[in-house]
């Protein structure tokens, strides 16, 4: 079995919980309780939205997914900062919010467009000496974290309510929206945290095409997306001998009409054999699905 699933993760369960459920669903469907399953970027338990998951041999294609851009909507809450930079942490600072903050916000947001240095929050899955930061944070331990560079492609203000702004954010992988909200507050001179968070897109996976775990359980086959629909490689078909050589790890002649560096390779029965890499007039196996 090979393919991707665009899961709508509800608020509450962890990403690992959702992955475990997909393993049960597709393990039963494929009659393979050891089926490989992996996600393409976690979501915090309190966040909802797109959680792409690779099923079966598609887990080997994850490194080939070059589009890792993310899209979110969130609420920026001013006047209060928390230990976790979201609504679930303990309050560590509060202040009155001045009446002109809404007029000042667009100019401040412009400062965060482009390359941005960001320090991962203590309540995150980043590892320090083999331990997750959130495990250390729960013990009251704070450690120095390595600053990382992220890219914010755009921030749009969707509306205001009291001391809260609704934002739509397009950014690179590795961006912590909680930290971004906290940093925007600092730029405004105010404590701030992130309220609700919804992931609207993750690379080629978008919100309106996502399915709930219940919908996937009802029809696992319909929810499974072929790799060609996610990774923009063309497909070539090899004859019986060519596909046998390819499966054996041998270089084969390039079929006529193939021009891309990487291609999906199928045999005459249209079974996905693997991913090939072009070297002039030859096609070498890069990923082989035996």
Catalytic residue among 44, 135, 162, 267: 44
* Whole-number Å distance between alpha carbons of 249 and 255: 17
In this structure, are residues 125 and 131 in contact, taking their beta carbons and an 8 Å threshold? no
3-state secondary structure of 216: helix
CB atoms within 10 A of CB 133: 20
With CA atoms as reference, report the closest residue to 193 among 79, 113, 39, 111: 79
135 is annotated as an active-site residue:
no
* Whole-number Å distance between alpha carbons of 98 and 113: 24
Q: How far is CA 251 from CA 196, 247, 271, 282, 290, in A?
A: 51, 10, 19, 6, 16
How open is the CA angle 269-53-248, to the nearest 5 degrees? 35
Q: Which residues are catalytic?
A: 44
């Amino acid at each position: 079995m090979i393919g991707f699933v665009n899961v709508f993760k509800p608020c509450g369960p962890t990403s690992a919980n959702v992955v475990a459920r997909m393993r049960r669903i597709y393990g039963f469907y494929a009659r393979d309780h050891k089926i490989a399953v992996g996600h393409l970027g976690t979501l915090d338990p309190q966040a909802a939205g797109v959680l792409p998951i690779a099923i079966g041999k598609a887990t080997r294609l994850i490194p080939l997914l070059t589009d890792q851009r993310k899209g979110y909507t969130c609420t920026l809450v001013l006047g209060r900062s928390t230990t976790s930079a979201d609504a679930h942490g303990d309050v560590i600072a509060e202040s009155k919010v001045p009446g002109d903050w809404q007029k000042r916000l667009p100019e401040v947001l412009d400062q965060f467009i482009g390359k941005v240095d960001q320090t991962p929050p203590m309540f995150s899955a980043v590892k320090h000496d083999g331990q997750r930061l959130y495990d250390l944070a729960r013990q009251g331990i704070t450690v120095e974290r390595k600053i990382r560079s992220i890219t914010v492609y755009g921030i749009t203000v969707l509306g205001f309510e009291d001391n809260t702004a609704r934002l739509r954010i397009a950014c690179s992988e590795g961006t912590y929206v909680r930290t971004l909200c906290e940093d925007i507050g600092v730029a405004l001179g105010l404590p701030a945290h992130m309220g609700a968070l919804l992931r609207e897109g993750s690379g080629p996976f978008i919100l309106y095409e996502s399915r709930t775990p219940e919908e996937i359980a009802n029809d696992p086959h319909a929810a499974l997306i072929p790799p060609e629909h996610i990774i923009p490689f063309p497909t070539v078909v090899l004859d019986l001998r060519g596909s046998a050589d390819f499966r054996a790890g041998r270089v084969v002649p390039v079929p006529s009409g193939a021009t891309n560096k990487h291609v999906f390779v199928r045999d005459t029965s249209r079974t996905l054999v693997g991913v090939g890499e072009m070297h002039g007039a030859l096609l070498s196996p890069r990923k082989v699905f035996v």
